[in-house]
């Protein structure tokens, strides 16, 4: 079974509008972390936001927020006020456990976001 | 923030040759480095995890004799693709992490290396 599921291969949004990118995950580990990365056409992976399994509040970083619904095992990324530069691939990833950085990340298949002017 | 570099950024080689890709953490000591491969329009697939001074742990299906990983120091890991073939053409990305005072145990990614085998 897939550990990270991103059901939207592609999404379109108008500039200045908000968009939600879906991510569901599967784990039995009580300690885990969820990450969102942006990958523009240049290929670099840009870290956007992190949510820990024990975090009580939804994470926010500027225009990015994470809608964390633990019971549903979902961690959707919300981008507010979309900009043309937001057009890129977006990957959701999960780290299971907490052993000081040696845990691997498992990535979803990604969502290609296109922001239209 | 922590910076990871990769060299070269792009390499084209003939079938049968070996190619070495370097991954360096520039401003921190990386206790763990990870190597990923990404085919066009696909996700990142972890190839192996390496800790400084010990043998890399390879993911299922990854040939360790073909993809040699050396993590000789806390700032450098190398991936050598031996006897490369066209099907090895891909985007290779490394990441590095460290144990310390950062709450996410975040992996910091290099910019990637695009390998084309003719």
Written as one string, the DSSP assignment of B14-54 is -TT--EEEEEEESSS--SEEEEEEE-TTS-EEEEEEEETTS
pLDDT of residue A96: 83
pLDDT of residue A37: 96
Q: What is the rounded distance in angstroms from the CA atom of residue A113 to the CA atom of residue A82?
A: 10
pLDDT of residue B53: 78
pLDDT of residue B97: 87
pLDDT of residue B101: 59
Q: What is the rounded distance in angstroms from the CA atom of residue A57 to the CA atom of residue A60?
A: 9
Q: What is the rounded distance in angstroms from the CA atom of residue A50 to the CA atom of residue A66?
A: 8
Residue A39 has pLDDT above 90, yes or no: yes
Q: Which of B10, B23, B44 to mutate to test the interface with A (most CBs of A within 10 A)?
A: B44
Nearest CA in chain B to A47: B108
Token readout for B113 is: 């290396």
Residue A88 has pLDDT above 90, yes or no: yes
Residue B103 has pLDDT above 70, yes or no: no
**CA-CA distances (angstroms) from residue A21 to A5, A57, A74, A108, A115?**
11, 19, 11, 12, 13
A50-83 pLDDT tens trace: 999 999 999 999 999 999 999 999 999 999 999 9
User: How many other C-beta atoms can be found within 10 angstroms of the C-beta atom of residue A24?
Assistant: 18
Out of B100, B107, B112, the one facing A43 most closely (by C-beta) is B112
Nearest CA in chain A to B106: A101
Flag if A95 and B105 touch (Cβ within 8 Å): yes
Nearest CA in chain B to A90: B43
Sign of torsion, CA A23 B91 B45 A44?
negative
Residue B104 has pLDDT above 70, yes or no: no
pLDDT of residue A98: 64
Flag if A45 and B103 touch (Cβ within 8 Å): no
Flag if A42 and B98 touch (Cβ within 8 Å): no
Q: How far is CA A112 from the centre of its chain?
A: 12
Token readout for B109 is: 């990614």
């Amino acid at each position: 079974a897939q550990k990270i599921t991103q059901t939207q291969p592609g999404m379109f949004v108008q500039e200045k509008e908000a968009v939600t990118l879906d991510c569901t995950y599967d784990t039995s580990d009580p300690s885990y972390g969820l990450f969102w990365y942006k990958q523009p056409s240049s290929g670099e992976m840009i870290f956007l936001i992190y949510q820990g399994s024990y975090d009580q509040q939804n994470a926010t970083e500027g225009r990015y927020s994470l809608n964390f619904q633990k019971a549903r095992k979902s961690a959707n990324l919300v981008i507010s006020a979309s900009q043309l530069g937001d057009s890129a691939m977006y990957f959701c990833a999960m780290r299971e456990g907490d052993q000081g950085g040696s845990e691997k990340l498992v990535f979803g298949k990604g969502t290609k976001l296109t922001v239209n002017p | 923030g922590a910076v990871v570099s990769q060299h070269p950024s792009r390499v084209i080689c003939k079938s049968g040759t070996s190619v070495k890709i370097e991954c360096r953490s520039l401003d921190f000591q990386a206790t763990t480095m990870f190597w990923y491969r990404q085919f066009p329009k696909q996700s990142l697939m972890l190839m192996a995890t390496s800790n400084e001074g010990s043998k890399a742990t390879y993911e299922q299906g990854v040939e360790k004799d073909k993809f040699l990983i050396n993590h000789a120091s806390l700032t450098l890991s190398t991936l050598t693709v031996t006897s490369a073939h066209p099907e090895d053409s891909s985007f290779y990305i490394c990441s590095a992490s460290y144990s310390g005072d950062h709450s996410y145990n975040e992996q910091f990614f290099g910019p990637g290396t695009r390998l084309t085998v003719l």
